[in-house]
Amino acid sequence: MALELTAEHKMLMALANKAQKNAHAPYSNFHVGAAILDENAQLHASCNVENAAYPLGQCAEAGAISAMVASGSKKIKQILIASPNDDFCPPCGGCRQKIAEFADTQTEVHMATKTGEIKTVKFTELLPLAFGFDKN
């Protein structure tokens, strides 16, 4: 059964897809976009930025979190990760922990395919017993 897209889903997807087009991924050619809806109903987005020195790259989710924090917000209500193909693109382990820093038990993580199919899970399903995650 396909998930019915809400207005929030559509806004997040449009913003993530726009950011995804600017991804710098010359090594993997795996362009990812991410968009966040924060506690103030503000939107933030970013894309992955690779570097020849592999560990120095940045995931799209990390960039979107940085943009959110730079704007003064501190809570992720929803985050959408836009995949460059027909597979869902869950956050890597490091990004799951970064999301945990600003999530609560109600935070929704949306994973969108290139064709617009969305899978939604609560953050706690992606990283149960996250380090330092004791929020309600």
Q: Which residues are catalytic?
A: 61
Using CA atoms, how far apart are residues 60 and 23, in angstroms rounded to an integer? 8
Task: Read off the tokens for 119.
Answer: 């899978």
Q: Which residues contact 107 (CB under 8 A, 6 or more apart)?
A: 76, 77, 78, 79, 99, 122, 123
Contacts of 57 (CB under 8 A, 6+ apart): 48, 49, 50, 51
Place of tokens 């979107």: 64
Tally: H helices and E strands in the chain: 4, 5
